[in-house]
Amino acid sequence: MLMAPVNFALPKRCAGCGHISGPEGNFCTDCWSKLDILPEVGCLLCNQPVSITGSICGPCLDAPPKHDGVLAAVDYCDTARDLALKLKYGRKPGVADVMAALMVRHARRYPDAILVPIPLHRWRIWQRGFNQSLLIARSVTRLTGQQVLPSPILRTKRTSPLGGLSRTARSREVRGAFKMDLAHIGSIKGRQVLLVDDVYTTGATTNACADVLKRAGAETVHILCWARVLKEDR
Ligand SMILES: [Zn+2]
Ligand SMILES: [Zn+2]
């Protein structure tokens, strides 16, 4: 005799605070209201929100980026930071799906793009066991059907944390830290690339990687990230 299926599904937990979330969505109402979803337009070069539409922000006027724009899901608030830490150190790979759900609107603007994660130095991979940016890239492509190229960029130097360094010191630190894996040049040449990162802070690392991809012949390189630290000098 057939038994009616019983729904054993546990109530869904908020990805931010762990409390039971609403019937839909990955967040409770409280955490959702704290997330600042970033708009798709902003500075003409990096998409940072600017007060005058169609203008270029201060940092980009100083030094135009190598990439073609930053596509960030949310502002780097406490909830956004907690999620990034959970993914990186909390061994909760499901968090990548939660991030991806809010990143797809940007990814879908470039349906033919190939996704490339920011590489970790191999020592970090050994320590952590995974590259969080690759997990995010895979989660995004499960929703969009785009292709991921897991490691076309090699990290040849272990860089120090860039926080607190001046702009010049940051670019000096990452200079020469990345190079193209020659075996993958054919997959990058002439392609639109979405360079995937968890948190976009100073932009030094992503800029160095975008430079490597552009030199390999990428048509465009946009940074696709979960959260972005918005600079003071808009
Ligand atoms: Zn919550
Ligand atoms: Zn800008």
Sign of the CA dihedral running 223, 228, 232, 234: positive
Say if CB 69 and CB 106 are below 8 A apart.
no
Q: Residue 234: is its pLDDT beyond 60?
A: no
Contact 189, 217 (CB under 8 A): yes
Say what the pLDDT of residue 6 is.
Answer: 55
Cα four-point dihedral sign 192, 197, 201, 203: negative
Q: Are 38 and 228 in contact (CB under 8 A)?
A: yes
**Looking at the predicted structure, is the pLDDT value of residue 13 above 90?**
no
pLDDT in tens, 169-214: 888 888 889 999 999 999 999 999 999 999 998 888 999 999 999 9
Domains of the chain: 36-228 (3.40.50.2020)
Q: State what percent of residues in the chain have pLDDT above 70.
A: 92
pLDDT exceeds cutoff 70 at 7:
no
CA 89 to ligand 1 center in whole angstroms: 19
> Residues whose CB is under 5 A from ligand 1 (ion)?
14, 16-17, 28, 31
**88 C-alpha to center of ligand 1: Å?**
19
Tokens 């539409």 locate to 53
Average pLDDT, the chain: 88
User: How much is the pTM?
Assistant: 0.89
**pLDDT for 56:** 93
Using an 8 Å Cβ cutoff, are 28 and 16 in contact? yes
pLDDT digits (tens, 9 = 90+) for 43-83: 999 998 888 888 999 889 988 999 999 999 999 999 999 99
Q: How far is the CA of 29 from the centre of ligand 1 (A)?
A: 7
Residue ranges with CB less than 5 Å from ion ligand 2 = 43, 45-46, 48, 57, 60
Span from the CA of 57 to the centroid of ligand 2 (angstroms): 4
- State pLDDT tens for residues 91-100: 788 899 999 9
